[in-house]
Structures are given as C-alpha cells and as structure tokens.
Structure 1
Amino acid sequence: MLFLSALLLLVAFLVGSLPLGYLLLSRAGVNTRLSNAHNLGVENMLRLVGPGLATASALLDAGKGLLAVLMASSLGLPEVSVLAALAAYLGHLNPPNALYRPLYGPAFGRVPPRGRGSLVLLGVLAGVAVTGAVPLWAAALPVVVYAGVTGYWGYVSAATLSGLAAFAAVVALLPIGVPAKLGALGLLVAAGWRFKENIGRMLDGTEPKFGEEVPLAGKRSDEVVAAFMIHPMTLENFWSAPRFAWLRPLVERGVISEASVRQMAANLRPMKVGELRGIRTPEGQSIRCYLLSSPLLPDVFDTNPELATRRAIEGARLAHELGAEVFGLGAFWSVVGNKGVDVQAAVPEITVTNGGAYTSGTIKAAIPGILKHFESEGRDLKAATAGIVGANGVVAFGIARTIAPQVAKIIMLGRNLDKLERSAATLRRANKDTEIVTTTDYAALTEADLIFTATSDPLPVIFPQHVKPGTWIFDEGRPADVDESVASIPGVRIIPGGVVRPPGGMTSNIDLQFGEGAVPACLAETLIIAATGEHGRKSLGPQTLSENINFFVEQAARLGFEVVD
C-alpha cells in the first residue's frame, strides 16, 4: 500500500506539471512569451487571447488538478487524496526542467515560470470534495475567502494565501489523519514560497490588483515597455524598500548583523521593486518602465564580479518575462559582464544597453553651455586649468577631448597612470598648445579652475582639501563624486550632470535620488530605444559610437526629453 501511495503521488505530481495551457496557446498561434508567470491571470489572459482560449486554458489547469486527486482517491484513503492535491500543485509550480525543457526551445534555456496556479488549486479542492476526502463545506470555504479578499483588497496572491490558510485551519480541526493535515499545511507553505515576490511587491506597492491591466510588449501600439536595473548605494537605500524596512531595527539593536544582511542581499535574485508611469511623448506614445533590483551593495561589484554578472543576466531574463523590449543597466550594473556584452549574449531575446551613448550625449550637450557661462562671468577660459577626474574611463576621456582645445592646461586624474599616459599622448598630438599632465594624486586638483568628474566610485572622491575657492565642478559621477562639504567653499559651483527629465508627468513609487520627475541619462537611453524601436543603437562594451551619441541627442529632443541643468 505504501508503494502504491507513493506511485500515485508521483503520478499526481507529473499530471500537475503538464503544460496544458502552454500547449493550447502555442497551437493557437499565441505569442507564449507574453503568457508567463508575470503576465498571466484570468483577467489578462482574457485580454490577451479572448474569452474562448482563456476559458479553455483555465479549464485545463483546473482539470489536471481534479484528475490528479481523482486518480489518488482510488486507494480510498483521504490522506492520500489531500497529499495528491499538494503533489499536483507542486508539479504545476515546479515542472521538471529535464522533462519539459525541449518543449520550449533553446531560446528559453529553462522551463519558464508558471502562473499562480489558482485554477489548479480550484481543481484539487473540487477533487477532495468530490472524493469525500474532506467535507464539501471545508473545500468551499477557501473559495469563499478567496472571493471575499479579492473583492475587498484586490490582491489575488493575498486572496489565494488567505483561502489556503482557511483550508489548512479547517483540515487541522477535522477528524482526519495527520498526513492530510500536513498536506493542507503544505499547500499553504508552497503557495507562500511561490508568492514571496508577490508579497514583496504588495509591500512596495507595485503588485497589480485584480482587474488592473498588465502591459504586454507589442500588444498596444501606443505603449512600449522597458525595464531598468538598479541597486542600493548604501544600507540606507536598502532600508528604504518597504519589503526590507523591518530589518533595520533588528540590525540597529544588534539582533541581526550587517554582515548577515549583506549575505542575504547577495543571495536574492532580481525582483521588481518599482515602476515609472506617466511618461508620454508629444506623439502620444506611452512608455512604461519597470524598475528591477538585485540588492547588491557597491563593494560587491568589485569583490564578486561573477555574482554581479549572474544577477544582471537573471535581471534581463526577468525583464523579458515581464514583457519588456529593452533592458537597461544602471549604476554599477552598467560595468558588469564586459559592460553588458556578456549579459546580451546570455539573453539574446531582449535588447540590453548600458546607457553610455546618451550619457555621453548629455555631457556633450552640456559642456558648451558650462564653458560659455564660465566666460560670461569674467573668467578667462583660455588661461584656465581643467581637472578631469576618472580620465581612465570612456566618458571622462571624452570630456578631456572636448575641452582640451579650449583651455591652457588639462590635469588627467585616474587610477592607472600607464593608461592615462597613453590617453594623454593622444590628446597632446591633437592639442599642441595645451599642457596636459597625468596624475593619480587628488591634491593636484587644487590648481584647477574647472573640474569635470565621472568616476564609478561608490563614495565621494573629491573633498574640500582638493578644491580651491571659485572652482566650477561638473559632477557626472553616479553616485556623486563630490562630497557635500565641498559646497561650503567660497565661490564653488557644483553642477550635476547626466540627469534627464522625460516627457509627460512621470511618477514613481520609489525615490531614484535624481530629483522629482528626473532620471539618469542611462535610464533615459533605455526609454528612447523602446520609444524609437532603434534596438541597434544599444550601448554595449567600452566603445561608444559618435553616430549613436548624436542619434540619442537628436531623438531625445524630438521625444521631449530635457537635460536638467
């Protein structure tokens, strides 16, 4: 009997794992990329495929749950029937990759995640009621609770968990064997684990409610969907996410160590933490952008670049599953995986960009105005000394190349002196009248009348001891390269760079720390690619084409993006 019970539970698991909905939709010619765990749901399936296919798909999911329990009931043991319900649900949530991987083709790399499985649960509840494993009222109670919570609160995941909690509580009180009680509890635990990200999104305010349309890439001609990867710069940023706010008092009281929080962050896969809405071009096109995060802190990008690259690849896959057409890499994500090259190679189904072209474009557009304003206040530009911080990088070197013909002296500051010298040699050949020096010492900046800084350091690198009174500083670093204390020096002017205001009235549920209604230029590049459909303009690797820089500057102006001065 034990062997037969185990065999029936295995069969229930396999029946539950059957991708019946996928097979139905793919045979009907539906783009199954859009029917995934993030875009599924009865209401969205109705919009995606119409009532006929949506109803058929729903009946197939419910039917496989019912069938799994009916087969297990042949032993006449209520405990086995309830455990079969759990097995079928687990099969739906965790289909064997080895078994179904060939079905989806090489583009997926793995079996795509399934939906919430609410209809499978409905089927297994019907099964335990029909077979008499539990009383009819006990099986009907979770459905009533589900309907009540959905109608009152609107969160389907919360309604599912509430219904299963009611079911587990009722079964615990019934005169039935312990295995059945554990099976009912197992349904709640399995759903809780499956919905952990939904719970986080409910806390963050980004979980769609029942009846709210989830945008599907390519489904609406007037809306495009993009995604952008961010990360916390400090633990303070980490606490700002509501889903993690409960950890802060525990760390402050010493209950949990900061090292434990960092370890937890390193183990978390990418998640949807926010959304930009209200971006609309003059032509009436809407751009929606999902904000994704794997909460790695800045030091991890240096100490464990392999982990950072893996998380970026997972973020690209999540963006694809959400229906985004373009995936942008922000802050330190922009340098992982050979500046996005490896990420694009791993996930070719979605366009990946590091945002370098438009970032360079905003600088190119801003510098003439800065220099003109500098002269308009009586400063002698031809006699000025300009410091270029982060000159080993592409962006900062581009700045040096732009201003070298216009000033008397350039101080190129970076970490790698040999590389600086090679770059300086290039500038010297083109600008024979400009003195160009290289250094790794920030003290050299005290000579500078103008400082242009664009590093990838997680903390400020320029402090009061590096700056003389009256210096103008263009800070392109994100996070900022200039410490707040520098502003107290007499006559110093700090100009933030690379900040853009998208068209329309943009709203966001989280603070991106670029000012109200503003985004970094690398995010704006992601939006522009989505809006124009010019996916070949993406920025990958260390090189940025001049023609792409000009393209983004021109298209940004056409679409209504404004550089914040």
Structure 2
Amino acid sequence: MDPGSSPTVVEFLGHPFRLAPDAAPGSDGRALGDVLQEWAVRHLQAELPGHLANARTVVLGGRNHARTARVLREFTDNIEFADPLLRFDLPARVAGNPLLGLAVGAAAQPLHLLPDPVRSRIPTPGTIVSHALARRAARDADVVVATYDELVGFGLEDLAGKTLITSAVSDEQLAELGDRGVDLVLDCVPQPFDVTVTAAVLEAMMRSVAGGGRLTDDDMLDMIVDAGLEPRLLYPNGWRRKSRFAFVIHPLSQTFFSEVEPLGTITRLAPGVVNDLIEKAVAYAPPFTYSHVTGITSPTGAEAEGWLITVGGTPKELMAHSPEFTYARLLQAADIARRLGAQVMGLGAFTKVVGDAGVTVAKKAPLPVTTGNSYSASGALWAAHEAVLRLGIAEVDDRGVLHGKAMVVGATGSIGSVCARLLALASDELWLVSPETAKLLTLKHEIEGASPRATVHVAATPDDHLGDMDVIVTATSGAGKRVLDIMAVKPGCVITDVARPLDLSAEDVAKRPDVLVVESGEIELPGDVRMKDIGLPPGVAYACMAETVVLALEGRYETFTVGRNIEWEKVKEIYRLGLKHGMKLAAISGVNGVFTPEQIAAIRARALEARAVVATG
C-alpha cells in the first residue's frame, strides 16, 4: 500500500484486514505475481488485439519481470533488457562454465536473500551503465516494462507515447506518469480497495482466507474470480492508441537518383550511360529506411506512425528480373519493418505487381502484408467522380449520379469487376467490355441481380461505343497491348486508368489534350503529417499507402489485400474505414503527375471548343 498512509481496514472475500503502512505482508507475492504478470499481458492483447505485435520493448530490472518478458516473447522479438545479466546473456555464459558458475553463485548469495524490489534498487556499475542504455532504448521503444521506482530519471523524452507495463500504481503515480507522457499503463496488480496494494499484500490476504496454509492454484483461481479481480488498463491522458506501419517504395524512374546523394552528384557529373549503369546497380542494393512518418491522427483519436522503406529497382529493373529477385528484397524490407516495430506492411507501385501480386511475400513475411489495391480501386473511381465534377461537362445530379454513359474495359478482371459494380450504382448506362464472353455474361447477371441503377450492356471490344462514353475505366492486364483507340473518345471524356502497368502511355495521352486521363486518386492523410517528399503535396499519400495507414489506425493488423483478385466487399470496407479515419481525396493524378486547377480548366476549354466544332460541322 502507499507509504506514509494511515492504517486502513478493508474487506476481502468477507474477511476484514487491517493494512498498516509499514507492515510486512507475510508473503513475497511471487506465486500470485507470476500469474498476474502473465494474465495482464494476455489481457492487454485480448482487449487491444495486435497492440504488442512486433512492439519494441525495453525491460527494466531483472527477475521481477521474468514472467512478463517470457509472455511478451509470444508477440514480439524486439525485446531489450536493462539488466546487465540479461542484456549480455551472461546466464548462458555462466551456465557454460561450471567453475565460473560456482564463483558467481557464491558472490551473489547475499543479494539473493533480498526481495526482488529491494535488490533491483541497489546500484552497481553495471546497472548504472545499463540504466543509461535503457533510457536511450526507451526513446525508440513502444513498450516499457518497469516498476514505478525503476523509472527514476526517465522523463518526457523517454516515456512520451509509450505503453508502460507495471504493477501497483497509485492514483498519484498515474497522474505523474501522465505528466511524463505515458499513453497507456497496464497495471498487473488488480486494485479492489481505495488504497493501493501490491501482489504480496493480495497473496497474504489469500493465504489468510485459505486458512494460513499452502495456497493452491485452485484456491488462487477461485479467489480471483470470486473477488472480481482484473488487470487494469489505464489512460492517464485519455484514451489513445498508436499503431505502427511500414510501406515499401521504389524509384519510379532514373530521376530519383538525381535527388539522392551521392548518386545525385554522380549523375550530374556523368549523365547518360552512367545513369543506366546506376539504375542496374541500385536494383541490387539492400532496402533501407527512407523516411519516418509521424503525426497521423484520426478523428477517432487513434494515431499511427510508420516508415517508408525503399528497394532500389525501377519499374524497368523490377520487370527485367525474375519475381524471386523482387521477393527477396521485399522480404528483406519486411525484416527491417519488423525490427522497427511495424504491425502491418504495404507494398507500393510495381512491388505489388511483380509475380503473384504479394501472395508469396505475405506468406513468408514476419508481419501482415497488403498491396493496397482495394483502396487503389476505390480511390481511382473517387478521383474519376471528382474529375467529372471539376470538368463540369457531363451532367451529374446532387446525389452524385452521372446522367450519362460509362464503360469498363477489362470488366471481368478483379479490379475491373469492382469498378463495374461501383459504376452500376452511379450512372445511367454501363458498358462492360471483355473478350471473356462467358465471364462477361455472368458479371452482367450478377450486377443486374444486385438492382443497379444503370442499364447494363456487354461487348467484346470497346471500339463501336467509345465515342458515346462520358466516363471510361480501363482495368485490363494488357501490359503494353493496345486497349482502346484514344482518338475515338469524345472530347471531355474522363478516362481512369487503374491497370498496372498502365493501359495508356504518356504518348497516347498527349494525343488528346481535350480528354482528362486519370491514373490515380491521391489521399490526404489526417493530422499534421510529417514525412519526406514522395512526389506528392505535403501530407498526401498514394491510395495503396493510405490503405496501409487505414488498417493501422483501425487496429486491423492483417493481410488485407493480396493477389490479383480484389474483393468487392473489401473495396467497400476500406473506403468506409477511410472516411471514418478522416481520409480525403487530395489530388487527381495523371501520367505526368498531379493535375493543377489550371490544367483541368485548359482541358475543359479544349473539350468545349472541340464539341462546338463537331456540333457546327
């Protein structure tokens, strides 16, 4: 109980007890303490699933947290010990040398006679050094395991944003820990009274209730249940949850090399052929952390931090090597993500296209993996809808319904079928185009069975109907093959290219300055986001990255989207979760980057001019 307090009479399971501030409890509390430590960790994991996954953990003290550390290893390998014996694995070294073991045992015998909390407070040169190292480690940690007394000298810079696993925390101590920035306190010792008690006091009470003899496991379990004891999850500054993610990026072109030193200097001094050599060489470089991402805060109060991890291959190099070449680098990136404490990892750009689109990587990675394709499909159509509104040519009512015609080329593919279902709810007429006639008829039947708004048509090729379309979505796997004749599209049409690789090249797009071709919808992340430049406005991310962030904010540490079959239900779910966590459509991107309002206005002007020529001709 709290030192310096007056004797207090409490009742436990119908028995009165007088708690004196300086009285010895009559039990060391180890039997109950071990149970409570393990139960508390499992209770936290049950209440906040995934909270401890890959968590960077620092354990202060030694044997007094042994059970906690052992259970934590089920959820994370990122554990560092402040105890010099554990930090340097001295027990294993001593065990390998019998004579040394006898000497160490004899020298340490006086210390073993002391209770663990007392022994842990005796300073030695080793513990002083380890304490300094632990403070440094705690600054990068997610979880700290320590008693309140073991946190002497730890301040805001050490504990801010951390989860603290401890025991017997009083209200005054909890408030003080809140001032030091602790987010969550897991108190392993239940506190059924108005005064704070330790595991030793509770165990002594249990022994007394049991008649003063041996306290069996059955006795302990019965009393825990009968007294309604439970570990405490305490939020000294109000409810908060911070999740951790990683996202894999890679250079999209040789331009990236000019922005990263020392490659930038080399490319400026020796451009041309040297760039090609650098491009090939960098593809073999090991992954590295490009940026720490902080400040992401959902309207729900959930927070997320993450790391951008880059692999060196450009799209040209990734496609030139075998899938196994890229898998190896992605698994290296996953290992970096694990060591950083990430709970979920996303694959960006061409890393999610190679091979089986993330399936193999997800199976072998030490943490859940998502390609982000569910939110990419949703974001692309979100951007298409916004593009139609900004152009202001096609008729859209107050509910966002397009009073015109839409087409999906590659409608029987995984992303294409999702886009078709979305457009069927938001347009008057919908054309489904695919050479797979049987699948096409099945898709038409399924969409019509879901009572769409649109009248649904089917065609094997798009050519005969392109000139009538207000919106076209291309979602094929043509990989460079001609998908549609852009010259046949009517002025002012919005084309959304969700295929990867893209169905329409920059050269194709340049032929029609009166058509708006959308490559993707970029997402504004919630909060005061801080990360290095990724070629987008500050605080804006690619939709595939945003999916990873949404999963982190929601506490869904799972393999959400992998493979080439995108599930309709997941597209709807990730869109809904994105809105819940404050995601907004930030930008509309084309093959040459983000469209400015001036560029969209220019496309509108050319489209209206071209339509006027057609009308008068």
TM-score under structure 1 length normalisation: 0.55
- Establish whether residue 412 from structure 1 lines up as the match of residue 433 from structure 2: yes
Between the aligned residues of both structures, percent identity stands at 24
1:257/1:33 CA distance change after superposition, 3 Å: farther
Report what 2:608 is aligned to.
none
1:492 to 2:515 alignment: yes
Q: CA deviation at 1:358?
A: 2.4
| Shift in CA distance, 345/245, structure 1 to aligned 2, threshold 3 Å | same
- Of 386-395 and 485-494, deviating more is 485-494
Distance 1:399 1:500 in 2: 18
In structure 2, give the amino acid aligned to 1:355: G
Higher-helix-fraction structure: 1
In structure 2, distance between residues paired with 1:498 and 1:434: 26
> What does the per-residue CA deviation read over 1:395-434, in whole Å, with 9 as the maximum and x for residues that have no partner?
2332234335745563637xxx4xx434422344456954
After TM superposition, give the deviation of residue 333 of structure 1 in Å. 1.6
Q: Which residue of 2 aligns with 1:325?
A: 343
Residue in structure 2 matched with residue 281 of structure 1 by the alignment: 298
Q: Equivalent residue for 1:359?
A: 376
Partner of 1:350: 367
- Counterpart of 1:483 in structure 2 is 506
Structure 1 stretches of 5 or more lacking a match? 1-20, 65-118, 123-153, 155-210
Distance in 2, matches of 1:507 and 1:458, equals 35
Query: Partner amino acid for 2:283?
Result: A
**Match of residue 137 from structure 1:** none
CA contact (8 A) 1:276 1:508 kept: yes
Aligned-CA RMSD value: 4.9
The correspondence for 2:416, drawn from 378, 396, 403, is 396
Q: Does 1:451 align with 2:472?
A: yes
Q: How far 1:324 sits from its partner (Å)?
A: 0.3
The answer as to 2:528 corresponding to 1:505 is: yes
Contact 2:380 2:521 in 1 (8 A): yes
Once the two structures are TM-superposed, the CA of residue 439 in structure 1 deviates from its matched residue by 3.5
Distance in 2, Cα, partners of 1:251 & 1:479: 30
- C-alpha contact (below 8 Å) 2:432/2:440 kept by paired residues: no
Deviates more, 1:446-455 or 1:546-555: 446-455
State the partner residue of 1:557: 579
1:518 maps to: 540
Query: 8 Å contact 2:394–2:470 — kept in the other structure?
Result: no
User: Alpha carbons of 1:253 and 1:464: their partners in 2 closer, same or farther (altered >3 Å)?
Assistant: same
In terms of fraction of residues, the more strand-rich structure is 2
Per-residue deviation at 1:353? 0.9
Q: Give structure 2 stretches of 5+ with no counterpart.
A: 1-58, 94-125, 130-135, 137-156, 166-182, 185-240, 449-453, 588-617
- 1:299 alignment partner in structure 2: 316
Which whole-Å CA distance do the structure 2 matches of 1:439 and 1:463 have between them? Answer: 11
Alignment of 1:19-168 (within 5 A): 29-30=68-69, 31=72, 49=81, 53=82, 55-56=84-85
SS class of match (1:245): helix
Alpha-carbon distance in structure 2 between the residues aligned to 1:322 and 1:227: 9
Instruction: Give the aligned partner of residue 359 of structure 2.
Output: 341
Q: Which amino acid aligns with 1:498?
A: G
2:459 match: secondary structure: strand
SS of 1:563's partner is strand
Distance in 2 between the 1:409 and 1:422 partners? 18
1:233 alignment partner, one of 235, 249, 252? 252
User: Offset of 1:502 from its aligned partner?
Assistant: 1.0
**In 2 relative to 1, CA 376–263 (structure 1 residues): closer, same or farther, beyond 3 Å?**
closer
How many angstroms apart in 2 are the aligned matches of 1:365 and 1:402?
10
- Contact kept in structure 2, 1:470 and 1:490, CA below 8 Å: no
Whole-Å separation in 1 of the counterparts to 2:403 and 2:272: 57
Q: Shift in Å at residue 253 of structure 1?
A: 6.3
| Structure 2 CA distance for partners of 1:243 and 1:282, relative to 1, 3 Å | farther
Q: Distance in 2 between matches of 1:231 and 1:215?
A: 30
C-alpha contact (below 8 Å) 1:279/1:504 kept by paired residues: yes
TM-superposed CA distance for 1:288, in Å, is: 0.9
Which one of 527, 530, 535 corresponds to residue 552 of structure 2? 530
Q: Take 1:225 and 1:218, find their aligned partners in 2: how far apart are those partners?
A: 17
- 1:356-398 CA distance string (max 9 Å, x none): 22233335656666677664379x96663x4435546422332
Q: CA deviation at 1:236?
A: 1.0
C-alpha contact (below 8 Å) 2:284/2:312 kept by paired residues: no
State which drifts further: 326-335 or 547-556: 547-556
Q: Report the Cα distance in structure 2 between the residues aligned to 1:533 and 1:407, rounded to whole angstroms.
A: 38
More displaced, 399-408 or 328-337? 399-408
Report SS of the residue matched to 2:290. strand
Q: Deviations over 1:302-344 (max 9, x none)?
A: 3321211222222222211211000111112223452222112
Note if contact 2:380-2:496 (Cα within 8 Å) is conserved in structure 1: no
Closer, same or farther: CA 454–248 of 1 in aligned 2, 3 Å:
farther
| Cα displacement (A) at 1:476 | 4.0
Equivalent-residue separation in structure 2 for 1:35 and 1:403 (angstroms):
44
The alpha carbon displacement at 1:540 in A equals: 2.1
Which of 562, 565, 577 is residue 543 of structure 1 equivalent to?
Answer: 565
State the distance in 2 between where 1:557 and 1:302 align. 35
Q: Which amino acid aligns with 1:388?
A: V
**Structure 1 residue 506: deviation in Å?**
1.3
Residue of structure 2 in register with 1:271 after alignment: 288
1:438 lines up with 2:442 in the alignment: no
| Secondary structure of the corresponding residue to residue 356 of structure 2 | helix
The CA deviation at 1:518 is 1.0
Corresponding residue for residue 224 of structure 1: 243
Q: How far 1:277 sits from its partner (Å)?
A: 1.8
Tell me if structure 2 keeps the 8 A contact 1:502–1:561.
yes
Structure-2 change in CA distance of 1:218 and 1:494 (3 Å): farther
In 2: Cα distance, 1:449 partner to 1:60 partner = 68
Q: CA deviation at 1:500?
A: 1.0
The residue type paired with residue 311 of structure 2 is S
Q: Contact 1:226/1:527 (CA < 8 Å) preserved in 2? A: yes
Distance 1:330 1:508 in 2: 16
**Contact preservation (8 Å) 1:404, 1:427:** no
3-state DSSP class of the match of 1:439?
coil
> CA separation in 2, counterparts of 1:317 and 1:309?
12
Contact 1:463 1:483 in 2 (8 A): no
Q: Do the aligned residues in 1 keep the contact of 2:430 with 2:457 (CA within 8 Å)?
A: yes
Cα separation, partners in 2 of 1:455 and 1:218, compared to 1, 3 Å:
farther
Number of equivalent positions: 383
